[in-house]
Chain A
């Protein structure tokens, strides 16, 4: 099939403003959008700048706005999007170049929730055992790949860059509801700040945007409930 890619370009060293570039070429409907972008970079315009690493929906580098919707370019087939494909960088972050955005703030929010296992007790001889039921409590949020599709689809995050954002809350949820972890109190206190979970207005954009189909709004609701229960 013949496809037309309209790609957002921003090359600050040669041109001040951002603009759209069009590329037309033949592709298979079963090609992924990322294959199209690779084709452009490798054969049509080597200056196109984008992030991608594993190219199989695990590393989370190539989340982009594809025809207005946040998706992973490596998980979306061209045939499912159509012959006209508009590619833009994630919304709400500063664009560094073309499709590459500055994710410093995103990762500083991520680090603020202590996204690692906390338990000061000496580990037992073998692993710290956990029941199947206890593991189920946070199974969904272990799937997060930090692609930022959720945070950059959230109107609260767009309007307030200090809002910790859905991705950081999902990461915190993964440890808060892990019964082997002992850092929940501090995580809940961090998330209980004004710009923590309370900026979430239950818009559900994050849940729709997540390429791993994590029930993000539900997870955020569970964290809100845990904070209220923790205080009372």
Chain B
């Protein structure tokens, strides 16, 4: 890589996507730690493992703090999926050498991630226990 091209200052472009992905993994890792620990604390100490059932979740989502809980669960879903699937992308890029196979596996992974986030988000936004 030449430092100067004809006296002009040309900067080779780095991969902005990889830089962002690396930064996102750090941020989402810290955010997930907080979200997951609070979730564990809530389920185990506030609700209690023996009381976790459909009604516990339905009551939480439809109660006074329902919108906030839905937002919390949505954040947990999106961060966990994006963090996890980006990790999976790293593994595929590191270990699948053939370009065709790598593209196919990454496409499957992205589709799967998108479907799972969509399905989860759909339930979070539209959930209605119907007074069960």
Contact = CB atoms under 8 A, between A and B. Distances in A.
A137 interface: no
A201 interface: yes
A192 interface: yes
Contact of A190 (B12, B18, B21, B23): B12
Nearest to A194: B15
A198 B11 contact: no
Interface residues of A, number: 25
Nearest to A158: B94
Contacts of A231: 14, 16, 19
Contacts of A155: 94
A162 to B, nearest CB: 11
Contact of B3 (A118, A156, A160, A198): A118
Contacts of B18: 192, 194, 198
A160 B94 contact: yes
A190 B16 contact: no
Nearest to B23: A228
A189 B13 contact: yes
Contacts of A185: 11
Interface string A210-228: 0000000000000010011
B90 interface: yes
A185 B19 CA distance: 15
A188 interface: yes
A118 B21 CA distance: 30
Contacts of B13: 189
Contact of B11 (A112, A156, A186): A186
A114 interface: yes
Contact of A112 (B1, B19, B90, B95): B1
Contact of B15 (A118, A156, A193, A201): A193
Interface in B1-55: 1, 3, 11-16, 18-19, 21-23
A156 B94 contact: yes
Contact of B94 (A118, A159, A189): A159
B90 A186 contact: no
Interface of B: 1, 3, 11-16, 18-19, 21-23, 90, 94-95, 97
15 contacts: A155-B94, A156-B94, A159-B97, A160-B94, A183-B3, A186-B3, A186-B11, A190-B12, A190-B14, A194-B15, A196-B14, A198-B15, A198-B19, A201-B94, A231-B14
